[in-house]
Amino acid sequence: MTIQTITHVEYHCADAARSATELQTRFGFRRDSDQPEWRPGVRAVHLHQGGIRLRLLSSEITDHPVARYVERHGEGVAVLALGCADPGAALERAERHGAVVLDRDGALIAGFGDTALRFVPLPEAPEPGAPEPAGGELLDALDHVAICVPAGQLAEAVLFCEAALGMHRIFGEYIAVGEQGMDSSVVQSPSGDVTFTLIEPDTGRRAGQIDTFLADHGGAGVQHLALRTDDIATAVRTARSHGVEFLSTPGTYYDGLAERLGDTAIPVETLRELDVLVDQDHGGQLFQIFARSTHPRRTFFLEVIERQGAGTFGTANIKALYEAVERQRATASA
């Protein structure tokens, strides 16, 4: 009954068709041609790439739940669909451990702020002899989901993930960026395929980007999705050629890489050219970069990540990534 994967992400937006076109053009997603685009009061566009499934929903009916979400939070992740062998048993466990049930028939529970969690059956395995997916995809899977929670709620959020969802904490770190600070914990499903990075601000220090997210988003929610690739250099170059802007990294970051890490699987010159960050753990190296947010409230963005053996998160990269976001925030407010 434990969760094993995120089958899809439900994203509520002002115009599903427009948002879908942007993801198709810039990041290489494809539409699911066999999925209906209309349901009562809602436009729904289904996208896929590798193992990533996105459902973009919009509504012009002002009192519709989708429209109310967008009015309250701006565009964002409204539902994470968690695949498990027995959704009913998963719902029962979550409720037994204090989860608020929003829709019993739909196996939907309250998650983080207005981001809900839905227990769904695991996808069926392809039949023998079924056609292979089309090639040329840049992105392979949803690596992790970053979630911001209000100050003082991190421990409660971790406990909820452990007790109600059967996840376990695999990493934690306090991050200082200039005069601001934030605390983080990473929780993961036993399968290793569902990973949440939970972050709360340190209100004892100067307000920073997590405080800004919580204020502009209107409470807890998903800050970014990290999309995994097996070739980050090609993915970044291709996305840039299609109009995606990525956050920059100071040249000094790369000056000391050889001394800090030794040889890197991707040459330092390439990392510097592309502004890609690198770190490593006991299993190997990981490479990361943030796309510049195009969200009107700057409360949601995408990350691209490649893992070459690394199973966790490089300590130095978490700080470097948030420093990059802070530079964007400072530029936007100038």
Q: How many CA atoms lie within 13 A of 331 on its CB side?
A: 11
Task: Return the exposure string of 12-25: e unless at least 16 CB atoms fall within 10 Å of the residue's CB, then b.
Answer: bbbbbeebbebbbe
Does 321 score more than 90 pLDDT?
Answer: no
Q: Which CATH superfamily is domain 3-121 in?
A: 2,3-Dihydroxybiphenyl 1,2-Dioxygenase, domain 1 (3.10.180.10)
Does 13 score more than 80 pLDDT?
Answer: yes
pTM: 0.92
Determine phi and psi for 174, rounding to 5 degrees: -90, 130
Per-residue pLDDT tens digits for 132-148 = 555 578 999 999 999 99
Determine phi and psi for 104, rounding to 5 degrees: -65, -45
Per-residue pLDDT tens digits for 135-184 = 578 999 999 999 999 999 999 999 999 999 999 999 898 988 778 889 99
User: What's the pLDDT score for residue 190?
Assistant: 95
Q: How many CA atoms lie within 13 A of 31 on its CB side?
A: 16
Burial class (CB in 10 A: 0-12, 13-18, 19+), 37: middle
Residue showing tokens 């990269």: 317
Pairwise CA distance, residues 120 & 287, whole Å = 31
User: What's the pLDDT score for residue 267?
Assistant: 95
**If phi over 0 gives left and psi between -120 and 50 gives alpha, with beta otherwise, what is residue 167?**
beta
Which is more confident, 329 or 166? Answer: 166
Least confident of 65-74, 205-214, 290-299, 311-320: 311-320
Does 56 score more than 80 pLDDT?
Answer: yes
User: What's the pLDDT score for residue 329?
Assistant: 65
pLDDT band at 316 (very low <50, low <70, confident <90, very high): low
Mean pLDDT of 278-287: 90
Does 131 score more than 60 pLDDT?
Answer: no
Which is more confident, 217 or 2? Answer: 217
* DSSP category for residue 132: P
Q: Is 129 helix (H, G, I), strand (E, B) or coil?
A: coil
Which is more confident, 131 or 284? Answer: 284
User: What's the pLDDT score for residue 260?
Assistant: 82
Does 47 score more than 90 pLDDT?
Answer: yes
Amino acid letter, residue 157: A
Does 258 score more than 90 pLDDT?
Answer: no
Mean pLDDT of 238-263: 89
Amino acid letter, residue 166: G
Q: Is 29 helix (H, G, I), strand (E, B) or coil?
A: coil
Structure tokens at 96: 């037994």
User: What's the pLDDT score for residue 71?
Assistant: 97
For the chain, which residues make up each domain, given as ranges? 3-121
pLDDT band at 78 (very low <50, low <70, confident <90, very high): very high
